[in-house]
Amino acid sequence: MRLQIGYVPLTDAAVVIALGERGFAAREGVAVDLVPEPSWATLRDKLALGLLDGAHILAPLALASHLGLSGPPASLIAPVSLARNGNAVTLSLALWEAMNPVSDALPEVARALAAVAEERSAAGQPLTLATVHPFSSHTYQLRRLLALGGSSLGHVRLVVVPPPRTVESLERGLIDGFCVGTPWNSVAVAAGVGRIAALGCEIAPFCPEKVLVLPAEMEERAPPLLRAVRAAARWCGEPRNWPDLAELLGSPRHLGVAPDLILRGLTGDLALAPGGASRSVPDYLRLGEGTLGFDGEGIGWILDEMAQAGQFAAPPAARAQALALARPDLLPAQD
C-alpha cells in the first residue's frame, strides 16, 4: 500500500514525518510519500479532492471539512490525535512595549492586550492579529485570550497567515501578532522580531490540536498505517530521541529551521523575548503514544468553540455527523 500523506511544516507534524522517514510505515508494509503543503487551505482542498490519501491537519478544520463548512465537502475519519498543545501568541516588540503588562502572568497579559486593542479600535486603527485558519484552535485561543482581558475579536482585525509565513509577516509589519504552533514562535524570538506573550497550553490546555485524517473509504485499509502511527508516536514521545527528531524536522525538505529552535518546543524550555525572559513549560507541546486519543469529547469541545466564535451552531443531525469523524475504535491495541 502506497499513500500520499500531507502535512504543514510544524513541529507537531513529527509523527507523520517520522512515520515515513524512520521506517515505521515500511515495517508495516506501507510506503508513505510525505507531501509538504504551504497552507491549511491547500492541504484541505487536496485531501477533499482525492489528491492526498491522508493528512496531518487542524482538528477543527478536519471537522469543518467533514461537515461541509470549509472547502469542498469531504467524508473523513480521524482515528488519532497527533499532538496536544504547542501553540503560542507572539506579538511584535512594539505592541508588547505599548501593552507594558504588570507581569508575564496570563491574566495580566490578557488585560494589557485587551486595553490596547480597545484603544486602537476606538481610534480606527485596530490591531491586526493573525491566525492560521478560521477553523483552528489558534482562532479560539485568540478569542479566549481577548475575552480573558475583557475584550473580543470584534475589536481587532483578524487575518489568516500560513504558519511558515507568520514570522516574515510580523517582521514586515503586516501584522501586530499571531497565534501559531511551534517552532514559529521561537523563530520570531530568535530573529529579534517578536515576544511570546501567552501560551496555548495555558489558554486552553490539552484542547484538540492536530489529527490524522483519512478518507472514510480508507477505513478497512487503515490498520497497518495506524499500527505504524502508534510506533512513530511512541518514538517521538521519548525525550532521548528529541535531538534526532529536531535534526529530522529541521532539514530543508521539512521545516527548514535550526534544530535548536525546534528543540525549544520539544523540551518546553522557551526563550520568550530576544535576549530576555525565558520559561520552562514541560506541557508546552505534548507528543507521544499518550496523545493519540481523539473521541467524542474532543468533537464536543470543537463544536462548542465554533458556536462561541459564531461559526456554526450544530443542530442535532449535524452533531451526530460530527461525532462520526472521530474513530478511536480503529486504533489497534497497544503491542
Is the pLDDT confidence value at 69 over 70? yes
Task: Name the residue among 213, 172, 198, 192 with its Cα closest to residue 61.
Answer: 213
Domain spans of the chain, in order of start = 2-84+207-256+282-330, 87-203
Q: Which of 41-45, 240-244, 330-334 has the lowest mean pLDDT?
A: 330-334
The CATH number given to 87-203 is: 3.40.190.10
Task: Please give the DSSP secondary-structure letter assigned to residue 326.
Answer: B
Query: Which band of pLDDT confidence, cut at 50, 70 and 90, is reported for residue 335?
Result: low
Q: pTM above 0.75?
A: yes
Which residues, in sequence order, are CB contacts of 13 under 8 Å at separation 6+?
A: 7, 56, 82, 210, 249, 254
What architecture is the 2-84+207-256+282-330 domain classified under in CATH? 3-Layer(aba) Sandwich (3.40)
* Rounded percentage of the chain residues whose pLDDT exceeds 70: 100
pLDDT in tens, 260-274: 999 999 999 999 999
CA 20 to each of CA 29, 168, 228, 273, 285: distance values in angstroms, whole numbers, following the listed order: 12, 29, 9, 35, 21
pLDDT in tens, 209-224: 999 999 999 999 999 9
Specify the higher pLDDT residue, 334 or 48.
Answer: 48
Would you put residue 61 in left (φ > 0), alpha (ψ -120 to 50) or beta?
alpha
Cα–Cα dist 46/72, whole Å: 9
Cell numbers that stand for 253 in this block: 525538505
Cα–Cα dist 297/276, whole Å: 39
Average pLDDT (113-127) is: 97
